[in-house]
Amino acid sequence: MENSLKILLICDFKPNFEVLGYDSCSVLYHHFFNWLVKPLKDAGKSVDIKTIVSEVTYVRNKKSKVIDELNLIPISEEENRQIYGEILSANDKCGYNYFKNLPDNVIDKIKNLIYGKLNNFIPHIVIVYGLNKEIYEKIFPDSLVLIYENAIFSRPPFPRTLYFDPFLHIETFMHKFCDKISSLKLSNYENACIENLKKSVVELIDENNPIKKDIIKLKKKYKYLVLLPLCSLGSNLENETIFCSDYDYLSYVMESIPQNIGVIVTQHDYEKGLLNPYMLEYFRAKYNNLIFFDKVNNLEYGSSSLNFFKYVDVIINNHSMTGVQSLLWDKKIITTCRDYNDWYADKKGVENIEEFLMQPCRDKNNIIYWYITHYCLFLRRFTDGNWMYNYLVDKLEKFRKDGITFDYYNKIEDIDELSEYIIDYVKNYYNSKKMNHSDFKLKPLERIFSIKNHNNHKVITVAGVKTKIKRKKV
């Protein structure tokens, strides 16, 4: 770039009180500051950053260093009311896609408000987190607008991954070009690397699975086992899926699946609000084949769904990255959302599930290969400011020259080296957890029995009783 790279970040616009603690503030600190802006500035790159947030988010971060580093620009509730009035439903106001189907005159008001706030700052790149990006393409027609979200791995034991997608939050690049990606031919070596990655990951997860014995018992009880991961409470299911809520979603699945098929339900790892004791009591009483491991919520070994992948026959995926992760386990995937998971799913809807489960599983190694070597960015990449700057500039230049074609994403990882990186990361994670657990187990013993030196005495403490032993003079 001949001048500073101008980037506009949009975290939220209207306050979302349901997910504010997890979503807005977490996005500011981690996704925008730690994983994007800070690496760029630490590398000495010439970047001009501005960030639009709701007034609530601004106030909550008023004393934080991100105020200056991100150049936070708040949109007040008074300003919002002048734009929207009463046209938005409560669900739209609290969902990710609240800009959907807005009238043109409202979009013009938003454009005028944003342009006024930016003081003639025209971004080269607009990066939005979890929102509908169509409005920003209308407001900034000459800017590259990217959806910024977690990719295949967002929790331990894997390295964090992100993606910057030039299409919609629902119809992603993967969905747009799924036919081309699915038709890719891998070399024998590339295929062998993917097979080794899958085998190693499956074995490592299983070796450290604290509920393995409990799951194996279920295999003997039911003809089939399916995994049903619930979504984040912040997901706007009505816009992104055919369901109004997780309750509606769970009821639909349980009513559609025969009693001889066990349904293992897991919750979003950061938001476990739906299945409270009362709701769980209701679902268990109504559906004998609903399986929920209460203790899985307290596990320290990363995502709860990972523990079940090896032992289930299919994953029913609504709007969750667990479906993408399960590709490493060669599992069948049923999608129940509109378009989000079509590019890797084997079936849409849970009807006639027994007949579907008798069919063989198709090979998706080429999908895994392209996704992790071209599409998603691993932790070591997006925390490298020099690399990340070149990545963003490359995407901007491609957008300006050819628009968004299949060649927009070039290969950024060698599969053999990347596979080794992922496997080593998982190994190191579990080894560190074992060391921490070993240290923890010593602490109760230290409280019962300890030996310490004090002046000329050795002090022995047993169950809180101290005994001094004077050293003998030599």
- Beta-carbon contacts of 469 under 8 Å, excluding residues fewer than 6 positions away, are 457, 458, 459, 460
pLDDT, tens only, 64-112: 778 888 999 988 888 878 887 766 554 455 444 444 567 788 889 889 9
Phi-psi region of 85 (alpha: psi -120 to 50; beta: other; left: phi over 0): left
Q: How far apart are CA 378 and CA 413, in angstroms?
A: 10
- Min mean pLDDT across 45-54, 125-134, 229-238, 308-317 is at 229-238
Q: Would you tell me which CATH number, out of the four given (1.20.1530.20, 3.90.1150.10, 3.30.565.10, 3.40.50.2000), belongs to the domain 185-372?
A: 3.40.50.2000
- Beta-carbon contacts of 432 under 8 Å, excluding residues fewer than 6 positions away, are none
Inter-CA distances, 470 with 118, 350, 463, Å: 75, 76, 20
What pLDDT is stored for residue 443 in this prediction? 39
Query: Minimal CA–CA distance to 268: which of 224, 238, 237, 233?
Result: 233
Is the predicted pLDDT of residue 178 greater than 70, yes or no? yes
What pLDDT is stored for residue 166 in this prediction? 93
Quote the tokens at residue 72.
Answer: 């936070």
Q: Where are the domains of the chain?
A: 5-150+383-413, 185-372
Compute how many other C-beta atoms are within 10 angstroms of the C-beta atom of residue 205.
23
- Would you call 99 helix, strand, or coil by DSSP? coil
What pLDDT is stored for residue 266 in this prediction? 87
Pairing mode, if any, of strands 465-470 and 457-462? Answer: antiparallel
What CATH number is given for 5-150+383-413 in this structure?
3.40.50
Sheet with 47-54, strands from edge to edge, namely: 72-75, 47-54, 5-10, 125-129, 144-150, 161-165, 377-378
Residue 236 pLDDT grade (very low, low, confident, very high; cuts 50, 70, 90): very low
**Domains 5-150+383-413 and 185-372 agree in fold:** yes
What pLDDT is stored for residue 100 in this prediction? 56
Query: Minimal CA–CA distance to 310: which of 222, 223, 431, 209?
Result: 209
- Min mean pLDDT across 105-114, 161-170, 315-324, 434-443 is at 434-443
Q: Over pLDDT 70: what percentage of the chain?
A: 76
- Would you call 240 helix, strand, or coil by DSSP? helix
Spatial contact of 16 and 134, defined as CB atoms under 8 Å apart: no
Radius of gyration of the chain (CA): 26
What pLDDT is stored for residue 54 in this prediction? 82
Q: How far apart are CA 315 and CA 226, in angstroms?
A: 6
Spatial contact of 19 and 233, defined as CB atoms under 8 Å apart: yes
- Would you call 458 helix, strand, or coil by DSSP? strand
pTM given for the model: 0.84
Q: What is the mean pLDDT of residues 188-198?
A: 98
pLDDT, tens only, 333-387: 998 866 667 788 899 888 899 999 999 999 999 999 999 999 999 999 999 999 9
